[in-house]
Amino acid sequence: MARNKKSKASEKSGTGALFCCRCSYSWRPRNIHNLPKNCPSCRSTVWMKPFECMLCTRCGHEWKSTSDEPRRCPLCGTYKWNEVPTVHHCIKCNHNWNAKRDWSPKRCPSCRSTTWKYREEEKGSKKDKKVKANYMGVITEEEIKHILDRYARGDSCTKISLTSGIPFSIVYNIILKTEDVALIKV
């Protein structure tokens, strides 16, 4: 059925000439009543479908596709080729990388550090040093204030840890050192 339809290029020009969207070749068909199966130059079977230029946001590969929404990138194979990737940065080795999954990785792929997202200890007051001394990773004063603020609003240590991405032991130690409470909401 599709072979009996006239192409858009021949209807516009009125000359009966056909045009390949893939290789830009134009020709006059022998049989004007039926469309050819493929282009005589490049042998493409999708010669009459317009090609869209696609760009993979993960690897930067450009390709042409007849589909409006291709399933995946032909170079890197990702299914999320049209979504902007999350970029992670390691503070220890200054390595930047794109996230392959929706969650945060445990280690930096370059230096294999587990504390890649925490800052090194900065000089501060004695109270800050006392709080920061019990764990390997160091977090900023703003993050400590944020943790204490959320705990004061009624959030548990587990909920604060899960939503902020800070390990539970760090959240628990901060609340234990700064709050004068007999029972801590775990």
What is the pTM for the complete model shown?
0.40
Residues of the chain with pLDDT under 70: 1-15, 118-138, 180-182
**Domain ranges, ordered by start, for the chain:** 87-117, 126-178
| pLDDT tens-digit readout, 118-148 | 654 433 444 444 444 444 456 777 888 888 8
Virtual torsion, Cα 128, 131, 133, 137, nearest 10 deg: -90
Of the candidates 144, 148, 138, the residue with the CA atom closest to the CA atom of residue 181: 148
| pLDDT tens-digit readout, 31-48 | 878 888 888 888 888 888
Positive or negative: CA dihedral 54, 57, 58, 60: positive
Virtual torsion, Cα 30, 34, 40, 43, nearest 10 deg: -160
